[in-house]
């Protein structure tokens, strides 16, 4: 959840003092890491799910203020735009039944949210990019009523010297437009999985999450359309990367896959933040350095697709968790949790292997896989162990589903329960019908009526039947 701030304008002195505090808190975190203080007895999992509010014809509706007031639930909060909201889960220990508990908790909360939306003549839709969203919807009049977002817009364009953003995505069609505010980011919604990890496993968990990102994007892709253009299978990836580019430096991309695997310590990411990325939100907080408030604020404005985060237990003990940001929202809660099962299972299995996966798959190959899979989905070619190049579907079916199943079994899952989630992934990959495939083929059959597409999608989503079983 993004912390709210008190100010939207900042002095030069505030920027300097904020940087000083980030320096101090980064050094403090480094000391904690060196002293072995960021440990955890067992890994745990959590998640965030972003969603769209739509009206009766499937268009985005800027109604989250009224919706959140009527819902009044601490785990559902505003997102950047007034037509988006974010659902959060309580953390769960990774062990037998945690996926089913997460599904049931999120599905119950989702149904409560949908009931609230329907009472307002709206619906809630989980989808990477809403096909009906238009560039005219993405304007500051629809920015959520949080100072954090207003300040973010002002600071990004201050760093760009007022120059507009240039969105340029070439897929099945070619989209090329200018945009004058940060609201482009609001068109991309996701499911973000959190994995709390012992500091001794943090480097391997971070690198393994990066290596898994390409295949996971391929199987989960759900964002083929933007502003009426058919683009990448997961257009959310280039959209978000270009939506908050500050310009003017080698580190203008605040959304990034990253230049390298972590080598010796997860602190390499926090040090890179401190040294390479200019401050965006220099909010000075009246908190002791031990709260790491300024480091965490700064880290929250560097959106790595896999991002290490610092959190605290109820007793104040610090921890590290990996935020896996590559998965789009939807199509159903069953699909969302199958994606989570695949990620957590495969990650667990990779951490149990004697050889770190980053020793076998170079960063440049992991990065290329990621963008190829975002562009081509389940038709992508990827590079895996021993420099082998092949079809991502074969990789998922032959190697990664068994790997994820092995990971789930290792944490105590019964074979039948692990197979439930893996069969959803297998069915999707066997049929090649993920959310992106279904949307494209619906349009091929019925035409470019995106309002009807959203309504058909929402009706199927409400049944919570995995997308590979959706009829056209």
Q: Are 179 and 231 in contact (CB under 8 A)?
A: no
Going from the C-alpha of 437 to that of each of 218, 256, 341, the distances in angstroms are: 11, 26, 21
Residue 195 · residue 205 · CB < 8 Å: yes
In a domain, 50, yes or no: yes
Alpha helix segments (H runs only) across 288-332: 293-299
Where do we find the tokens 């989630």? 421
d(CA 164, CA 178): 6
Query: If residue 54 lies in a helix (H) or strand (E), which one and from where to where?
Result: strand 44-54
Radius of gyration of the chain (CA): 21
CB 180 within 8 A of CB 143: no
CATH of the domain at 127: 3.30.590.20
Cis peptide before 290 (omega within 30 of 0): no
Closest by Cα among 67, 52, 75, 47 to 115: 67
Q: 338 is written with which tokens?
A: 């199958």
Sign of CA dihedral 6, 11, 12, 14: negative
Name residues whose C-beta falls within 8 Å of residue 445's C-beta, 6 or more positions apart in sequence. Answer: 472
pLDDT on residue 249? 56
SS3 of residue 240 by DSSP: helix
Residue 309 lies in a domain: yes
* pLDDT, block means (10 residues), the chain with 472 residues: 72 96 98 89 94 98 97 96 97 97 98 98 98 97 92 91 94 97 96 96 97 98 98 98 78 85 97 94 95 96 96 92 98 98 98 97 97 98 95 98 98 98 98 98 98 98 98 95
The residue written with tokens 């839709």 in the block is: 125
Question: How many CB atoms are closer than 10 A to CB 134?
Answer: 14
**Nearest 5 degrees, angle CA 324-CA 187-CA 454?**
105
464/256 Cα distance (integer angstroms): 32
**Is residue 6 in a domain?**
no
Half-sphere exposure (Cβ direction) of 86: Cα atoms closer than 13 Å? 19
Q: Does residue 462 lie within any of the structural domains? A: yes
Within 120-232, where are the H helices? 147-159, 202-220
As a whole number of angstroms, the distance between CA 198 and CA 196 comes to 7
Buried b (16+ CB within 10 A) or exposed e, 355-394: ebbbeebebebbbbbbbbbbbbbbebebbbeeeeeeebbe
Torsions phi, psi for 234 (to 5 deg): -125, 75
Distance CA 153, CA 181 (A): 6
Structural domain tally of the chain? Answer: 1
How many angstroms separate the CA atoms of 271 and 23, rounded? 9
Q: Which domain holds residue 149?
A: 12-469
d(CA 105, CA 98): 10
Q: Is residue 187 part of a domain?
A: yes
- Does residue 5 sit within a domain? no
Q: Tell which residue, 289, 258, 288, has the closest CA to residue 273.
A: 258
Residues 6+ apart with CB under 8 A from 286: none
User: Is residue 1 domain-resident?
Assistant: no
pLDDT of 1 reads 40
Domain assignment of residue 337, yes or no: yes
């Amino acid at each position: 959840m993004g912390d709210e701030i008190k100010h939207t304008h900042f002095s030069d002195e505030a920027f300097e003092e904020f940087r000083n505090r980030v320096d101090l808190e980064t050094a403090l975190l480094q000391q904690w890491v060196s002293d072995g203080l960021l440990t955890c007895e067992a890994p745990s999992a959590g998640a965030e799910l972003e969603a769209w509010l739509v009206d009766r014809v499937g268009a985005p509706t800027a109604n989250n203020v009224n919706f959140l007031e009527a819902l009044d639930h601490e785990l559902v909060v505003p997102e950047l735009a007034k037509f988006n909201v974010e659902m959060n889960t309580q953390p769960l220990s990774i062990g037998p039944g945690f996926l089913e508990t997460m599904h049931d908790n999120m599905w119950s909360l989702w149904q409560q949210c949908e009931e609230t939306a329907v009472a307002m003549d709206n619906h809630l839709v989980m989808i990477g990019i809403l096909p009906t969203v238009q560039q005219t919807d993405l304007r500051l009049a629809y920015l959520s009523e949080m100072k954090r977002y207003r300040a973010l817009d002002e600071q990004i364009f201050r760093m760009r010297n007022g120059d507009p953003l240039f969105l340029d995505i070439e897929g099945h069609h070619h989209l090329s437009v200018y945009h004058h505010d940060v609201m482009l980011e609001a068109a991309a919604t996701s499911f973000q999985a959190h994995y709390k990890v012992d500091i001794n496993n943090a480097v391997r968990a971070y690198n393994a999450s990066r290596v898994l990102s390409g295949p996971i994007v391929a199987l989960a892709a759900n964002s083929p359309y933007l502003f009426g253009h058919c683009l990448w299978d997961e257009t959310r990836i280039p959209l978000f990367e270009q939506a908050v580019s500050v310009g003017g430096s080698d580190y203008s991309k605040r959304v990034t896959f990253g230049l390298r695997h972590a080598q010796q310590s997860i602190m390499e990411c926090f040090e890179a933040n401190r040294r390479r990325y200019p401050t965006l939100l220099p909010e000075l907080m009246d908190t002791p350095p031990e709260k790491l408030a300024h480091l965490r604020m700064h880290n929250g404005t560097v959106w790595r697709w896999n991002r290490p985060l610092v959190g605290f237990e109820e007793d104040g003990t610090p921890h590290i968790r990996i935020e896996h940001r590559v998965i789009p929202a939807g199509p159903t809660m069953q699909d969302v949790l199958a994606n989570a099962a695949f990620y957590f299972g495969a990650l667990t299995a990779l951490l149990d292997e004697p050889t770190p996966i980053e020793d076998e798959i170079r960063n440049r190959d992991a990065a290329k896989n990621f963008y190829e899979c975002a562009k081509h989905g389940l038709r992508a070619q990827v590079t895996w162990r021993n420099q082998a190049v092949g079809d991502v579907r074969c990789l998922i079916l032959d190697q990664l589903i068994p790997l994820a199943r092995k990971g789930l079994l290792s944490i105590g899952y019964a074979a039948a329960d692990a197979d439930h989630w893996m069969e959803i992934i297998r069915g999707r990959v066997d049929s090649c019908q993920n959310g992106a495939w279904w949307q494209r083929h619906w349009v091929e059959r019925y035409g470019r009526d995106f309002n009807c597409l959203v309504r058909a999608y929402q009706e199927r989503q409400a049944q919570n039947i995995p997308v590979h079983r959706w009829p056209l």
